[in-house]
Amino acid sequence: MVIIEVSMLSGFIMTSRSRMLLENRTIVKKIEVKANVVYIYLEKLNDESQTFVLQLEQVIQVKNLKPASIKIYDYYQPEERALAEYSAVCS
Distance CA 57, CA 10 (A): 11
Distance CA 26, CA 8 (A): 24
Strands (E), the chain: 2-7, 12-14, 28-34, 37-42, 56-58, 68-74, 81-86
- Three-state DSSP at 23 gives helix
Report the length, in residues, of the chain: 91
Going by DSSP bridges, is the β-strand pair 56-58/37-42 parallel, antiparallel, or unpaired? unpaired
Total-model pTM: 0.88
The tens digit of pLDDT for each residue in 7-48 reads 999 999 999 999 999 999 989 999 999 989 999 999 888 888
At the topology level, CATH places domain 2-86 in Immunoglobulin-like (2.60.40)
